Structure 1
């Protein structure tokens, strides 16, 4: 290929024909030949006559230019011009495709797969051996295998990005040891970030041959959690955009959705990145329901921050007796307030007042004989955490053995260890048990206890002791009551009995105790990073979607501190009563590529100019015909030129039309319903029968007259002529290829709808296996907007029938559609919310609608639903939902506009009355 600046030519030898243009100019100038002057006396009789159709003696210069330009355009077109071509040095050696497979590669993963597939296919056609390196850190440290390029396609299509940063093998020399002879050409599909061993791999590949780097097409944005007394988020981005951060968690009905939208602050530039702080300024009730934070419109694990104990703020209630004015600094509540205020939301007042605020933790500072004991007992039994501190009042209470809500039985009167009338010295603290909530905390040498409230000896006293003094007398005890727990600290919360409240250890101990709220203490296990293992509970995939951890082993604490990796994906890890989030996002470093050819990401490479030049040549020829006709001034010639020009400008038939499936062409004219062929004969038969039954209902009840349903092979068929696609989900269904996903995304963007039916409505939500994982696997590469359950005022509930539920063969399960924008507001006087202008591109549910719509060859229901009248009514409601769905696809949200009709009629009536 010849490259001249941004222009390249696939057949540059044809440009030699441009040399003939000057010769052609001379030839055209010589035609017609110059006339010779011959003296003929009879010509005098023609003097004074005007020639109505003169013939030019020479071709005008402007007509010559048009003809030469047309010829030049044809020559350039046949030379194969390409604007900004992808210049690849001719190579016959091996090919290595390196794909960064960390979370940063997830946003345009389908495009990366398509580019890698094209390169491997071309290598296979040229007979070049090829190797595929997925840089996800899971490959062994051995040598890469070089095989025919098409041998890697199946593995490439099934590959997925991982919820950790890209990882390359450690030693490039070992990995490339089996590379065949010849210059090694490398195509590196990078995610744009720097990572370990990248520089060493780049140097090694540059030494072996040319390296072409394909940068990401989209800017990268990650989210990280900044710790401290007030946890906050930080948005890291390569561009100036400031997308909102969605706080996601279950709503009061238990449905996971966006509970709030957080706005990033002003940006600060650091190392080429734009950093924006995101404050978590939410009420405690809302904040404690949040399970994760996610950058809006970003679908990768780095844009997700999972919420753990560092994010959730417990509501803590303090109950104590206020001291006289001027002595507030001596009160126990003052020390507790200073310890808990940075990490919790405090409420103070009487016990009756704070119980009404529904706190997570109640702290009683030397309180006995409370009037609200019954209400407090019920609150603890329902899951509350009660923390009590000893003091002079509790020690002097004469019925201390009858005091309820104590974890252990106590002796009346306190123990004076280091007072003026005691013989002993103040006691220090014994090391904390490794299986308790204080495991791993360092005990300062200056923390001593001078007095304490003693526990009665009992066989189970050791099991209830969380902390003890150096003489093994209990300092902190705990017991379970119903779903909650009661904790007693056997000293005061001020410095009257010990120096513990004056130390930083007191803050750490209170933070650990508060973090155990709403958790069962009987399941206690090692819970600090100093403990050996953490168990994964929830993990993310590369696209940032959470799921339950399956088949993963406990992770050593030392490995957990290193961040996400192949054996420890991003997720929530548990150690006893504590939950630790391992998040993939955070600051990153942009990569540089010395010695490599980096493709421009801002423009589409390889734009073919052949069609534009051919069109220009045709237009110039038409202008030449018009110009010649004008010079000739003949009606016949002018009409012929005009006709020729019209024929040349008419659009020709599209070549692709001959390649379309006749069924698809018929579907465009008949509005036929289509379904995805899964390969399961029973499921495909149910889909065909179901859409046939729904088509029959549409023909009999509406003005829509659909044709026969058609099955669609996503890897082969064109979807541009379809409007509605029913996709039943099966576990064994293979994922379509990258080109199929490109067609599916184009189908969704052009107004089409896909109804995903997981068909698991009979087992979803009751602990049985469902199709959620299969749905995530199949729909991951699709450009699906944020979803939400169908609200009561959605257009889908009233498109044709008024519906409150959307049953199929099963019922009672939520149906998901595109979520309304957070800024959508209802107008005054309009009873329905104005949703997004258009149709939801996807509808997701599990009610097995095709089986509810299905009719056999005799016109009877093919599958049973329920029993008796209830089953018949459920089938009728399923058919009505199908009618609403198809009418919604075909007509959009016009029903929402009907609410304006009364106002328009009133306005017209008013204008008629005011008219003269």
Structure 2
């Protein structure tokens, strides 16, 4: 590169063309412009005369200067000028590109890959060996292989940020053992944060050669969770912004969406990192539905906090005898101990059993209660998924029909067992160690916790399986059994200190917390391998961009490794061990990296400003002025100049209908059905044949006469004249461009409909409106409203045929349409909001409708549907669904409006009777 002051030229050899400018000056100066013709009658007298010394008119100096300036601008543009270029010293030795690949690198990952690819390509052009070190923690301690830079590009393009922090190998010298001869030049593309072992690597690389650091282009943000009695969030930011925190989870219809928006508090700055507390002040009903918290606008795993039992605040109902008015009696009441143990971490509701059930609690605790009148309602509540915790006591021990008492996990003997009294059978018993795979796994029973009295269980073969805590003599202390979707737990001692000192110990609070964390989950039998060695199994995980990723290929994680947070083999996500649930979150406190001895590029400087576009535009303007100037001095100059100026100032003509492709114009004239071209020939052919068969059915059965189906290339074709678009989803289908998504969103907002067909109804259920990863990837940028399965009274069930099912080649899978707003069904006659004239912009299913509609050129079905008469019946229902769908698209809320007709007629008859 040639540098002249602040100006650099990437192709300086092009500047040699400037030598020709003096010659060009002489040529242009001697060349006369076009002559003007002026009608003068006296010219006839000069006919036949010859000028022996003709003198040509010269080109005006200003026009000559304009032309030379235009040519100079073109020469300079082709020399690739750069304003204030970033100069890099010429290196002859090997190159090492270190790419931070943790979650903090995700926001501008594409730009990082581009910069690394540029450095590797330049090294390959210069014949320098290069190596690539990804800081994702998955690089082994083996020596790096130095090779041609362009051979590393495929690995670079396939790299993705990890859902944990950047991690480098432990021993830099071992990794760089194969370094070729020469000084090692290092380009470190950093995420701006300090990481373990980063300082050691910087010191080792600086000793081997120059180190250039590329800092991040934007501030780094992360989100962390602080547990305790009042859990809260903390936003960590290397900038000074105050972002909003989104609480995301399923709404009452089961659709995941934003449930609340939290505001960050006052900022505290330490060492360049700003922290802001965020309180989770939400109602329990809303708080317990939250699946994750996320920084608004952030797209990396560090900005996501997955919610586990530390976030959820249970609503617990306490049912027992009212506390005595005497202060001494209040401190002895069972409810007092339960209240003190649960109040910091739960929302308590006290009262009679009926009143507590009306509040829809997550957990109900009965303190020494028997023979309750609402026992039937309580049983239904437990069967639906509730957690019932019961405590023994004198009333239960003296109950003469204890063997008939319902909602107990085990059969009890009548009367209690007194261990430490005058007529006792022995000394008070301590607690046996808890099972390593049970709900109390990891808790350590204190030596001073003893039991003096208890209710005994009747011996039975399954007593040991139902015992989750026992005394040192193996008699049950806590038993549990499953009832429907819920659980029943019994403490065989009182909730106060009358039979045991367990309620006044810290272990009592821990045991209740563990039990409450299982509310809403069924008791799970531990696996045999979990009895020997506890492992945590990933239930759902995130990728580096904070998106859901597959957890199928992950091996179980040993319990001792979970304390290290996310890392290789244990990405950020939700993990389960037996009945315990834990969230590993990638975000947390941050520390800005320091780079002593390294050259740090200025983020604002970039690579310099390319001046080629400016010079080319300037040359084009000067050439246009040259044309205007030439027209001025030529015949009709003023008129031509005015026309040029007028044409230059006119805006471009908008696209008219005649500018559309012939296929699009035909679709507008013939109401043709359209399908998305996926690039898979078999799928595209099935889509064409399916819409052709549906068009034939519409012509035969209705007044709609569609033409031949139209294939749509989303990246190039317009959608303004279409009303219906069939989109078959394939795994290999590339996502459309951003401009295509703008056209698709405009298509949906203007009344169009897209039928997404995942075509996998034979192998997998949908389970929700986000069906498959391919559908999520293709539909994510679309303005898709909340979806719900088609209800029985939807217009789609009666727009032409009366239908109760919507099969295609497959059946049994739900079909999803726009969900009605909350409370909309309460209004008579208008069960759904009127959006896009009552038409859902999106319909999603997996039944393979195009294959059920498909007809070949001879009019015979192309694909089989079922067998025998049942299969043909299913094909007929599929065709009827297609007819209903197209009529629904074309008529909007027409059918829904018919419910108003009786009311309108009654009103007209009333007005006629009243008369004027």
The TM-score with structure 1 as length reference comes to 0.75
2:655 aligns with: none
2:875 counterpart of 1:871: yes
Moved more, 578-587 or 535-544: 535-544
- Report the secondary structure of 1:99's partner residue: strand
8 A contact 2:323–2:335 mirrored in 1: no
Moved more, 813-822 or 236-245: 813-822
1:276-304 per-position Cα deviation (integer Å, ceiling 9, x unaligned): 43333344344333333334444433233
1:146 aligns with: 146
- Report the secondary structure of 1:510's partner residue: helix
Note closer, same or farther for the CA distance 1:146–1:335 as it changes in structure 2 (3 Å cut): same
- After superposition, residues 344-355 of structure 1 pair within 5 angstroms as 344-355=346-357
Q: Give the drift of 1:69.
A: 5.4
Equivalent in 373, 376, 381 of residue 374 of structure 1:
376
Q: Where does the alignment leave 5 or more consecutive residues of structure 1 unmatched?
A: 33-54, 653-662, 713-717, 899-916
Alpha-carbon distance in structure 2 between the residues aligned to 1:181 and 1:303: 43
Q: Give the drift of 1:339.
A: 0.7
- Report the secondary structure of 2:498's partner residue: coil
Alpha-carbon distance in structure 1 between the residues aligned to 2:814 and 2:305: 26
Alpha-carbon distance in structure 2 between the residues aligned to 1:60 and 1:821: 75
8 A contact 1:408–1:477 mirrored in 2: yes
Equivalent in 550, 555, 558 of residue 556 of structure 1:
558
Alpha-carbon distance in structure 2 between the residues aligned to 1:93 and 1:693: 67
2:396 aligns with: 394
Alpha-carbon distance in structure 2 between the residues aligned to 1:214 and 1:816: 47
8 A contact 2:807–2:874 mirrored in 1: no
Q: Give the drift of 1:335.
A: 1.0
1:38 aligns with: none
Q: Give the drift of 1:263.
A: 1.8
Instruction: Say how many residue pairs are matched.
Output: 834
Alpha-carbon distance in structure 2 between the residues aligned to 1:870 and 1:399: 59
2:839 counterpart of 1:846: no
Alpha-carbon distance in structure 2 between the residues aligned to 1:694 and 1:859: 11
1:484-516 per-position Cα deviation (integer Å, ceiling 9, x unaligned): 433322332223333322221211111122223
Q: Give the drift of 1:551.
A: 3.2
8 A contact 1:676–1:726 mirrored in 2: no
Equivalent in 504, 509, 519 of residue 507 of structure 1:
509
1:583-620 per-position Cα deviation (integer Å, ceiling 9, x unaligned): 22223333344555555556875553223223323434
8 A contact 1:248–1:256 mirrored in 2: no
Q: Give the drift of 1:874.
A: 2.4
Alpha-carbon distance in structure 1 between the residues aligned to 2:472 and 2:547: 49
Note closer, same or farther for the CA distance 1:489–1:290 as it changes in structure 2 (3 Å cut): same
Q: Give the drift of 1:755.
A: 7.3
2:309 aligns with: 309
Moved more, 259-268 or 684-693: 684-693
For the aligned residue pairs, the C-alpha RMSD in angstroms reads: 5.4
8 A contact 1:667–1:707 mirrored in 2: no
Q: Give the drift of 1:11.
A: 3.5
1:328 aligns with: 330
Alpha-carbon distance in structure 2 between the residues aligned to 1:471 and 1:751: 71
Alpha-carbon distance in structure 2 between the residues aligned to 1:18 and 1:269: 59
Alpha-carbon distance in structure 1 between the residues aligned to 2:127 and 2:303: 41
2:262 aligns with: 263
- Report the secondary structure of 2:275's partner residue: strand
8 A contact 1:107–1:300 mirrored in 2: yes
Alpha-carbon distance in structure 2 between the residues aligned to 1:529 and 1:458: 22
- Report the secondary structure of 1:144's partner residue: coil
1:318 aligns with: 318
Equivalent in 721, 725, 740 of residue 747 of structure 1:
740
Note closer, same or farther for the CA distance 1:683–1:200 as it changes in structure 2 (3 Å cut): farther
Alpha-carbon distance in structure 1 between the residues aligned to 2:303 and 2:783: 16
Q: Give the drift of 1:237.
A: 3.6
Alpha-carbon distance in structure 1 between the residues aligned to 2:846 and 2:598: 50
1:657 aligns with: none
2:365 aligns with: 363
2:225 counterpart of 1:225: yes
1:696-754 per-position Cα deviation (integer Å, ceiling 9, x unaligned): 99999889978863779xxxxx64778899764445x3x86xxxx6x723432455789
Equivalent in 787, 802, 814 of residue 789 of structure 1:
787
Alpha-carbon distance in structure 2 between the residues aligned to 1:358 and 1:19: 89
1:300-323 per-position Cα deviation (integer Å, ceiling 9, x unaligned): 332332222222333221111113
- After superposition, residues 346-495 of structure 1 pair within 5 angstroms as 346-418=348-420, 426-456=428-458, 461-495=463-497
Alpha-carbon distance in structure 2 between the residues aligned to 1:527 and 1:317: 37
Alpha-carbon distance in structure 2 between the residues aligned to 1:267 and 1:362: 39
Q: Give the drift of 1:420.
A: 7.4
Equivalent in 546, 550, 558 of residue 544 of structure 1:
546
2:172 counterpart of 1:172: yes
1:612 aligns with: 614
Note closer, same or farther for the CA distance 1:883–1:675 as it changes in structure 2 (3 Å cut): farther
- Report the secondary structure of 1:863's partner residue: coil
- Report the secondary structure of 2:263's partner residue: coil
8 A contact 1:262–1:280 mirrored in 2: no
Alpha-carbon distance in structure 2 between the residues aligned to 1:84 and 1:879: 65
Alpha-carbon distance in structure 2 between the residues aligned to 1:670 and 1:236: 57
8 A contact 1:618–1:648 mirrored in 2: no
- Report the secondary structure of 2:851's partner residue: helix
Equivalent in 339, 342, 365 of residue 340 of structure 1:
342
Alpha-carbon distance in structure 1 between the residues aligned to 2:481 and 2:16: 94
- Report the secondary structure of 1:709's partner residue: strand
The TM-score with structure 2 as length reference comes to 0.75
Note closer, same or farther for the CA distance 1:689–1:481 as it changes in structure 2 (3 Å cut): closer
- Report the secondary structure of 2:341's partner residue: helix
Note closer, same or farther for the CA distance 1:75–1:380 as it changes in structure 2 (3 Å cut): closer
Moved more, 235-244 or 336-345: 235-244
8 A contact 1:674–1:726 mirrored in 2: yes
- After superposition, residues 668-707 of structure 1 pair within 5 angstroms as 675-678=676-679, 681-690=681-690
Alpha-carbon distance in structure 2 between the residues aligned to 1:323 and 1:467: 29
Alpha-carbon distance in structure 1 between the residues aligned to 2:607 and 2:706: 44
2:43 aligns with: none
Q: Where does the alignment leave 5 or more consecutive residues of structure 2 unmatched?
A: 33-54, 653-658, 748-753, 898-916
Note closer, same or farther for the CA distance 1:132–1:170 as it changes in structure 2 (3 Å cut): same
Alpha-carbon distance in structure 1 between the residues aligned to 2:167 and 2:15: 47
Alpha-carbon distance in structure 1 between the residues aligned to 2:599 and 2:704: 60
Alpha-carbon distance in structure 2 between the residues aligned to 1:212 and 1:692: 61
8 A contact 1:817–1:840 mirrored in 2: yes
1:569 aligns with: 571
1:317-364 per-position Cα deviation (integer Å, ceiling 9, x unaligned): 111111332343332111101111222222211122223333332211
Alpha-carbon distance in structure 2 between the residues aligned to 1:174 and 1:451: 65
- After superposition, residues 892-907 of structure 1 pair within 5 angstroms as none
Q: Give the drift of 1:519.
A: 3.6
